[in-house]
Amino acid sequence: MKGKEFPPLLELSSLTVTYGGQTLLDSIDLDVMSGETLAVVGESGAGKTTLLRSLLGVTARGFSVSGSLTFDGQQQDLALDQSYGSLTANSLAYVPQNPSIGLDPLKRLQWQWRQALRAMRTLKGTQSDKEQDIEDRRFSQHILSQLNLKAFDKKFPHQWSRGMQQRLLLAFALVAKPKIIILDEPTSALDPIVAAKALVEVTKVAKENNISVIMVTHDLALATQFADRVAVLSTGKLLEVGTTGEILNSPAHPYTSNLVKHRHWGLDYA
Amino acid sequence: MLEVNNLSVRLQDQTLLENINFKLSRGETLCIIGESGSGKTTLLRALLGLVPLSLGSVMLDRHVYQSPEQSQIGLPSTQIVMQDPIAALNPRQKIKRSIAESLYKSSLQAVEIDHAVLQALRDVELPESLENRYPAQISLGQAQRICIARAIVAKPDILFFDEPLSALDAIIQKQIAQLLDRLKKQNDLSYIFVTHDLGFARHYADRILLLNSGKVEEYQDVNLFFQGPESIYGQELLEAAYILGSLPQKKTEEFRVA
């Protein structure tokens, strides 16, 4: 539905990451269109986390990064400027796999939620007038109810279950109305019923607000359920990128067709 | 063969498991499914004698236990394979010793034990040369095969598995599942799996035991369960599995009409 006439929102070209002579990512070219859901699928050791960290500009010391990143029309050479996180900082929301690292254990949830709202306003540079206040409050209530989160009750993070913490982080990500949300293994901390509801809601709200979603997962079956396009990563190389239909029906790479064949335990009753 | 009657586990004032009943016959595979905190692992631990029973009885062939004291001995001729294979192996022991450990108390001679270890390695399709390595020198998939070898070398009747595949990549998962299937037929074993993977349960289980907050929500033949669970909770769980792609069939389009 979106042709190539629109420039991609985010474009990585020949991203290479090395660490101590080892190539972790080998010349990755990847683009993300505005409003689409892109899944990055790879098994353990494929380089998913390194790719995420490079995108966020938080690669650890000793990693050398090269290539270029174009975001919203602005280009940056990654080898020259390691602080490229600033290019995407205000437009990119990251939901970690482990929810406890995303929340401050010493602050009440209500306080953290207010911080998120305040941050959103600062980022957008909006003045606090009455109309905007009402609109913001409405949107934040909408997000909370969509994710089945209600009263914070002056609770601290540890007083909530992992599932609720994870949903709160998803709400944090959505309420800031970023351009891109990055989900790192979004289902691994959640039980299936909660995970299914949360993911359906997040992708729905993202679509409504034209937010792109980058979902990083080891689970091809999950990826194909939610993504518009799927990128397959293996041992640091991007094997192929295609629409979900292309990946499922005519995978170009033997590695991908093997993954496709083995999802659902090879069951194929439709 | 195995019969569990009215099993309950209480810890202080909390009821972890309440009134669990099921049977397992020889050669059967039972999958215990449920969300985290539903009591899956506690049930396995109770059967293994790691958690004392508060009420009820467990009967394996002629061996019965019903009191907390009896239950702590554990069932004979059962073995367990855990979720994290590297953590389950002693890092300072060679593979050979890890596998042989359960045989030291038997009446076997040293030569026979060595022979049994090699046979076990062949059974799990690993090269014999692996016996002199340490756990840190083998892959995750190999380590899980070692844990399986260690379990079957003791010639159990029932094997327990606590999420045995969730740490592994998809293709290796499938290879190990096929291996388990073959070993089961070869040795006439019964399996009890604790798993959250409904695709796996659908494929490999004969019966399903669905737990929800310590109670049995459903105990059902696998085909009947997947055709349509009786409980609302079971239906919700299946629906979620379809949305998340753990089970093939429905597409998400119908759930996310924007």
The alpha-helical segments, DSSP class H, found in B49-164 are: 68-71, 85-88, 95-100, 110-123, 140-152
Is B251 near chain A, with CB under 8 Å? yes
Q: What is the pLDDT of residue A189?
A: 76
Mean pLDDT score, A47-68 = 86
What is the identity of the amino acid at B159? L
Task: Give how far B107 is from chain A: nearest CA, Å.
Answer: 41
Tokens describing residue A96: 């970690």
Q: What is the spatial distance between Cα B47 and Cα B160, in angstroms, rounded to a whole number?
A: 9
Quote the pLDDT of residue B219. Answer: 95
Instruction: Tell me what ipTM this predicted complex has.
Output: 0.81
Query: Do B82 and B44 touch, CB atoms closer than 8 A?
Result: no
Amino acid letter for position A190: L
pLDDT in tens, B140-180: 999 999 999 999 998 899 999 999 988 888 888 888 999 99
Q: Is A208 part of the contact surface with chain B (CB cutoff 8 Å)? A: yes
Nearest to B195 by CA among B205, B183, B187, B206: B205
B contacts of A268 (beta carbons < 8 Å): 248
pLDDT in tens, B198-256: 989 988 999 999 999 899 999 999 999 998 899 999 999 999 999 998 887 644 444 43
- Is the confidence at residue A103, as pLDDT, over 60? yes
Q: Dihedrals φ, ψ of B17, to 5°?
A: -135, 140
For residue B202, which residues of chain A lie inside 8 Å, CB to CB?
Answer: 265, 267
Quote the pLDDT of residue A267. 60
Chain-chain contact of A262 with B171 (C-beta, under 8 angstroms): yes
Instruction: Name the residue in chain B with its Cα closest to that of A186.
Output: B244
pLDDT at B116: 93
Tens digit of each residue's pLDDT (9 = 90 or more) over B7-55 = 899 888 888 999 999 999 999 999 999 888 888 888 998 888 888 888 8
Q: Determine the Cα–Cα distance for residues B236 and A95; give it in Å rounded to an integer.
A: 26
Report yes or no: A28 and A204 within 8 Å, Cβ to Cβ.
Answer: no
Q: Pick from A162, A198, A194: which is nearest to A183 by CA?
A: A198
Which residue in B has a C-alpha nearest to residue A217's C-alpha?
B169
**Which of A237, A268, A229, A228 lies closest to A255, judged by CA?**
A237
What pLDDT does residue A1 have?
A: 45
Neighbours of A127 (CB within 10 A): 7
Q: Does A267 touch chain B (CB under 8 A)?
A: yes
Task: Enumerate residues 6+ apart whose C-beta is below 8 A from B5.
Answer: B21, B56, B57, B58, B59
Report the distance separating Cα B247 and Cα B199, nearest Å. 5
Contacts of A204 in chain B (CB under 8 A): 256, 258
- The fraction of chain A above a pLDDT of 70, given in percent, is 90
Q: Average pLDDT in the A140-166 region?
A: 84
Q: Helix H segments across chain A?
A: 48-56, 85-88, 109-124, 130-146, 162-175, 192-208, 220-226, 244-249, 254-262
**B169 — contact with chain A (CB < 8 Å)?**
yes
Q: Which of B237, B249, B252 sits opposite A226 (nearest CB)?
A: B252
Asked if A263 lies within 8 A of B237 by C-beta distance, the reply is no
Q: pTM (2 decimals)?
A: 0.83
Indicate the average pLDDT of chain A.
85
Residue B220: φ, ψ to 5° = -150, 155
Nearest to A264 among B35, B243, B247 (CB): B247
Backbone dihedral region of B27: left (phi > 0), alpha (psi from -120 to 50 degrees) or beta? left
pLDDT value of residue A216: 94
CB-CB: which of B169, B200, B241 is closest to A192?
Answer: B241
Q: What is the pLDDT of residue B225?
A: 93
What is residue A82's predicted lDDT score, i.e. its pLDDT?
Answer: 60
Band the pLDDT of A244: cuts 50, 70, 90: very high
Res. B185 pLDDT band, cuts 50 70 90: very high
Q: Rounded to whole angstroms, how far apart are CA atoms B18 and B219? A: 14
Residue A127 pLDDT greater than 80, yes or no = no
Whether the per-residue pLDDT at A269 is higher than 50: the answer is no
pLDDT at B192: 95
Structure token pair of residue A19: 């660490």
| A35-49, A68-82, A154-168, range with the lowest pLDDT | A68-82
Please report the pLDDT score of residue A81 as a whole number: 65
| Smallest CA–CA distance from B198 into chain A, residue | A264
Q: Show the tokens assigned to B219.
A: 């105990």
Q: Which residue of B has its CA nearest to A192?
A: B240
Distance from CA of B10 to the nearest CA of A (A): 22
